[in-house]
Amino acid sequence: MKFRSIGLSLRFIVPLALVLALFGYLVIPLMDNFTVRWFVRDLDMRSQLLARTLQDPLLEYLPQKASGRINQLFDRAIQDERLYAVAFCDPKGVLRYKTATYPVSLGCWHPLVGDPEKKSLVRLPQGPVHVAESELMQDGVDMGRLILVHDMSFIERRSADTKKYILGFFALLALAISLITVLVAHLSWRGWINGVKEVLRGELMPRAKVETPPDMQPLAGDVRQMLRDYHFERQSDSGSGTGTGIEWTGDTLKDLLQQDLAGDQVLVVSNREPYIHEFKPDGGIEVRRPASGLVTAVEAVMRACSGTWIAHGAGSADHQTVDRHAHVRVPPDHPSYTLRRVWLSPEEEQGYYYGFANEGLWPLCHIAHVRPVFRSSDWDQYVKVNQRFADAVIAEATTDNPVVLVQDYHFALLPRMVRAVLPKATIITFWHIPWPNSESFGICPWREEILDGMLGSTILGFHTPFHRKNFLDTVDRYLETRIEQEASTISYGGQLTQVAQYPISIAWPEPDPDALSVAECRARVRTSLGLPLDHMIGIGVDRLDYTKGIIERFDAVERLLELEPSLIGRFSFVQIAAPTRTSLDEYQNFEARVRKLADRINARFSVGNHAPIILKIEHHEQEQLTVYFRAADVCMVTSLHDGMNLVAKEFIAARDDEKGVLILSQFTGAARELHEALIVNPYHIEQGAEALQKALTMPPVEQRERMRSMRRRIKDFNVYRWAGRMLQDAARLRQRDHVMSKIDLHSRVAARRRA
């Protein structure tokens, strides 16, 4: 404890001492220079006074050539302790009379050219002297010049004394300030520690009456939240009999379902299906997975949990690959769950998906400087399609209490619709995109209906505490509810909804002995792009969406090449952009802007066949993306606003060589977890360019340290833990409802008996 106290004191004293030493180092020369200037001006005035005193007798003796009297006059003058020597030069510059102390090297001294305050200073072997001259005139005739030499050694002695005084002053000042600072720091630190203890005591012992000190109130909420998160993790890890040291896998999730949820049926609802069947040009059928972070995360959970996934069948061959109940077993290679497809007419898809969901809710929630559009006809289709999917959930349910996982903003109304028919169902709604502040959400004409629909959920999840808080504020503003901020619950219509943050993740990839090595991936990608093997590559993987910051990313690449011309012809950025929502004007215009910007940058900086921007607006399978991730030197994720963004985590998971650098937008949920990435503001183009330059020149040792830390975090907090936390919360709430229903039943029976 003593050593910690000394260490804490040194944290304050050492920087303070360094600052004061630096200040003294700068001040002493200034003071020395000021002292010299002050003494020089004083000696100039003194020399003028002495010259006037000697002028009259000297003018009397000169015509007489009375050398004895002149020398006697000069000798009496130098009896002054400061006046060192006196001399006289005739008008022709010949030294006629001088004292014995007069330096021969001065001769008939003339003023030096330079600083007027220093031209009278002369440094001789015996030390510095001050030299002044005065012209002697008689009846307008030049009689010569009187030269006075003053000793300057006393100034050096006084200057040395001044330095000692200043150093002593700063030493005493540093000591006094250090003592005061350490005293205040220790008192403050002790106060904060005691305050934190009081907060912890109040949190760990709820019955204890503890008042939070006023200066601790800003910290108290954060401490309580950290404690709740800690206990939540402990409960999540221990609820299924697994400790914090146990790795979360698909098997862990299966055990959790069996133990905590008694193997209840799991139903997933999303707009996008995990597998799309499409006709090939030759008439055959191919299966592909869409570019979607939602699909990436939830599909891994469904492989582990089995059950049924209900989604919109949008593939050209989807009808031909299902049975009479619109079912198909997936994945095609190793079927582990059922995909139930829901069919929509072109009018329904246009109004519900392209209209209300993606021209209304998407820009509203992302605040990406695109004006949301709301139409009554789109809303009508949104309500109709939500009911269609709710009916599919009810039809697929084999019990009255299934676990329903509702995914994203396409189905805000569905939880209430399912709750109306299956009141015992456990409905977990996860909102994959950001939730705006209450004022912004107020733009939506049907805000109350959307909030009412979402509060049909048992659990409502968001990526970050910020989005969760925004939702609570929105509900508080537009609905009559009872909100428990500490427990993060909303009581509405006689039902309790738990609102929490569940940062989504990915399934950690299993070791694949047949996978290409990083060196092989680097060679394959560069060869396919026609680039040299030592060519540096950056990678961006997104849907072609205006919220992903693709324009800003290209601007950063252009600025990098402007600032670092040596990278021209040595660096290329590969942008993989999967087409999306191509029927919307906003997306068509955005694609045109992206292509135009890429062409302009390439026209400026291409060297031969080496283009700085390689734009691939086409779909890529996950295996292909992994090869690009492993081949790249840097990955850029520059979303203008994003819920989580799993591309960042996929890049990290692919880098088992622990190399490569991640540049991550501060406006992604992932930025709250991946602190070792280079965090940037995507709107600041120079900052993006500087991050790129730093990434491309980062030493391998630093890359390894950053990547190793992020890989460890993502491996521990994977998608199974994400799903497990929600399912365990659901199990806890179901158990609570079960107990409450029993209590209610006993109360009613007792009331009848008393009656």
Cα separation of 648 and 708, whole Å? 14
DSSP secondary-structure letter at 566?
G
Identify whether the C-beta of residue 294 lies closer than 8 Å to the C-beta of residue 461.
Answer: no
Assess whether pLDDT exceeds 70 at residue 461: yes
Burial code of 326-350, b = ≥16 C-beta within 10 A, e = fewer? bebebbeeeeebbbbbbebeeebbb
| Contact status, residue 262 vs residue 251, Cβ threshold 8 Å | no
Query: For the segment 106-157, what is each residue's pLDDT rounded down to a tens digit?
Result: 888 765 444 444 457 787 777 788 888 888 888 878 888 888 888 877 776 7
> Which residue, among 45, 149, 152, has the nearest Cα to 88 in the 3D structure?
149
Measured distance CA(633)–CA(654) in Å, rounded: 12
Instruction: Pick the range with the lowest mean pLDDT from 236-245, 272-281, 559-568.
Output: 236-245
Site of tokens 């109940």 = 325
Domain ranges of the chain: 2-158, 251-501, 518-717
**pLDDT for residue 24:** 67
Q: What are the pLDDT digits (tens) for 58-91?
A: 888 888 888 888 888 888 888 876 788 898 888 8
Residues 351/320, Cβ–Cβ less than 8 Å: no
pLDDT band at 205 (very low <50, low <70, confident <90, very high): very low
pLDDT value of position 66: 85
Backbone angles phi, psi at 437, to 5 degrees: -70, 165
Question: Residue 473: its pLDDT value, please?
Answer: 96
* pLDDT for residue 300 is more than 50: yes
| Residues 601, 641 contacting (CB under 8 angstroms) | no
DSSP for residue 355: I
Q: In 22-89, where do the E strands start and end? A: 83-89
Q: Which of 216-230, 482-496, 581-595, 596-610 has the lowest mean pLDDT?
A: 216-230
Class of domain 251-501 as given by CATH: alpha beta
Distance CA 638, CA 470 (A): 23
User: Which residue, among 621, 620, 604, has the nearest Cα to 612 in the 3D structure?
Assistant: 604
Closest by alpha carbon to 359, among 546, 541, 543, 542?
546
Structure tokens at 60: 């009397």
Amino acid identity for residue 59 in this structure: L
Percent of the chain with pLDDT over 70: 86
Q: What is the CA radius of gyration of the chain?
A: 41
Strand order in the sheet with 127-138: 95-98, 83-89, 141-151, 127-138, 121-124
Burial 449-475, CB ≥16 within 10 A → b, else e: bbbbbbbbbbbbbbbbeebbbbbbbbb
Instruction: Determine if the peptide bond prior to 331 is cis (ω within 30°).
Output: yes
Assess contact for 96 and 89: CB atoms under 8 A: yes
Cα gap 57→15, rounded to integer Å: 64
Q: What is the rounded average pLDDT for all residues in the chain?
A: 85
- φ/ψ (deg, to 5) at 181: -65, -45
Contacts of 619 (CB under 8 A, 6+ apart): 288, 290, 291, 578, 579
What is the C-alpha separation between 36 and 45, in angstroms, rounded? 14
Q: Which of 335, 233, 323 is nearest to 274 (CA)?
A: 335
**Which residues are 747's β-sheet partners?**
none
Domains 2-158 and 251-501 share a fold: no
Helix-helix angle 217-239:153-204, to 10 degrees: 50
CATH 3.30.450.20 for domain 2-158: yes
The two three-digit tokens of residue 64, written as one number: 């007489």
Tokens standing for 406? 């509702």
Provide the pLDDT confidence category of residue 29 given band limits of 50, 70 and 90.
confident
Q: Which residue has the tokens 């690449």?
A: 557
Q: Over 70: is that where the pLDDT of 5 sits?
A: no
Could you list the beta-strand ranges (E) of 174-326.
Answer: 266-269, 276-279, 285-288, 308-312
What pairing do the DSSP bridges indicate for beta strands 661-665 and 571-578? Answer: unpaired
pLDDT of residue 701: 95
Q: Average the pLDDT over each of 18-32, 348-362, 388-402, 492-506 and give the range with the smallest value.
A: 18-32
pLDDT value of residue 177: 76
pLDDT score of 558: 97
- Chain-centroid distance, C-alpha 373: 31
Containing H/E element for 148? strand 141-151
CATH number for the region 518-717 comes to 3.40.50.2000
pTM of the model: 0.67
560: pLDDT strictly greater than 90: yes
Residue 599's pLDDT band (cuts 50, 70, 90): very high
Among candidates 491, 483, 417, 412, which has minimal Cα distance to 447?
412
